[in-house]
């Protein structure tokens, strides 16, 4: 997406070579998504979960980035506001990002415990560390991908699905 402003990307399950690409955008919010990569993709072609190029005012919160083969979040330009994103690779290799992205409030290397990722079921299992671990985004994300209201228990879940 290029040149967009004041849009919200929320409650999506995206399985793509590049899940979210923003260039010259302002005020974009990426909230409670489940972004799926493929660890078999060749990093030489720059697959990425979220790519930000010369953006400003971007908010990235409560997302699960799963099996991203290269940079999980690539930032060229302004640092996004982020937090409570969960990042995991099921092949045991470390997750990576650019030196300019700061995952200070993110949960890296923690398995979200999906029901059946091999069959594209990215709902959370009982006991998932993503349950009740998200930021309270209130009216910005009042429900999940299936239309279930948030929160269902003590707190907001990370990802597109509320347990």
Domain spans of the chain, in order of start: 8-140
* Tens-place pLDDT, residues 71-96: 889 898 888 989 999 999 998 888 87
What is the pLDDT, as a whole number, of residue 98?
65
* Tens-place pLDDT, residues 108-157: 999 999 999 999 999 999 999 999 999 999 999 999 999 999 999 999 99
Q: Which long-range contacts (CB under 8 A, 24 or more apart) does 121-129 make?
A: 122/13, 122/34, 122/36, 122/64, 122/66, 122/159, 122/160, 122/161, 123/161, 123/163, 124/157, 124/159, 124/161, 124/163, 126/163, 128/157, 128/163, 129/86
In the predicted model, what is the mean pLDDT of the chain?
A: 92
What is the pLDDT, as a whole number, of residue 99?
65
Comparing 114 with 103, the larger pLDDT belongs to 114
What is the pLDDT, as a whole number, of residue 148?
97
* Portion of the chain with pLDDT greater than 90, in percent: 71
């Amino acid at each position: 997406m290029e040149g967009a402003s004041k849009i919200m990307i929320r409650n999506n399950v995206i399985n793509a070579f590049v899940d979210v690409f923003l260039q010259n955008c302002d005020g974009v919010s990426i909230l409670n998504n489940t972004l799926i990569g493929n660890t078999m993709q060749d990093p030489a072609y720059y697959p990425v979960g979220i790519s930000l190029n010369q953006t400003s005012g971007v908010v990235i919160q409560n997302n699960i980035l799963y099996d991203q083969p290269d940079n999980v979040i690539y930032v060229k330009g302004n640092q996004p506001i982020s937090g409570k994103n969960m990042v995991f690779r099921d092949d045991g290799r470390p997750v990576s990002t650019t030196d300019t992205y700061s995952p200070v409030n993110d949960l890296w290397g923690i398995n979200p415990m999906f029901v059946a990722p091999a069959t594209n079921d990215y709902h959370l299992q009982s006991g998932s560390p993503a349950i009740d671990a998200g930021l309270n985004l209130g009216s910005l994300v009042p429900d999940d991908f299936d239309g279930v209201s948030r929160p269902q228990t003590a707190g907001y879940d990370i990802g597109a699905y509320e347990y």
